Amino acid sequence: MRAAVPAVAKTLVFTVFVPGTVAGYVPWRLRQGAAAPVTGAEECAAVAVIAIGIAIYFYTAFWGFALIGGGTPAPIAPTKILVVKGLHRFVRNPMYIGVGLVIGGQAWLFHSLHIAIYMTCMLLTAHLFVVFYEEPTLRKRYGEEYDRYRASVPRWIPKFRV
C-alpha cells in the first residue's frame, strides 16, 4: 500500500492542475455571460451528468492508474503496467470521456454555447493526442499486449460485455 502513496499523490497533483483547469476553471470562466442556469429536473439531470463524469475520472485515475497501474494519468509518470481493468475493459479512454461529460454537463447546466464549443475543441484535441501520441507510445511500450487490447476494446464508444 505504501508503494501506491506516491502514485496517488502525483495523480492528485495532476488532477488539480490538468483536469481541474480543463474541466473546472475554463468552463467556469466561459459560463460568464451565459443564460441563466437551468432549474428543476433539467438542473438535476445536468448535475448528474457532471457527477458521472467526475466519478469516471476519479475511478479511472486513482483506482486504475495509481493503485492498479502504479503510475499517473500524466505522460511524464505513466503506469508500470497496461491498465485493462475497471472501465478500461469497456473503452480505452474513459478518463477523456469523463472529462468530456463534466464539460458537457456544464454546457447544459448553463445553456452555454461557449462551453459546448470548448468541449468540442477539447474532445478533438484529446482524440488527436490519443491517435498521434498515446497509441504509438503504448504500442512501443507494451507491444503485442497493447495490440490485443486495442483489437478487443474500442477507443471511444464503450462496448459492454457480460
Structural domain spans, the chain: 39-152
Q: In whole angstroms, what is the distance from residue 49 CA to residue 51 CA?
A: 5
For the record, the C-alpha cell of 73 comes out as: 494519468
- pTM of the shown model: 0.92
Q: In whole angstroms, what is the distance from residue 88 CA to residue 95 CA?
A: 9
- 5 vs 59, higher pLDDT: 59
Strands (DSSP E) contained in 27-115 are none
Judged against a pLDDT cut of 70, whether residue 4 lies above it is answered with no
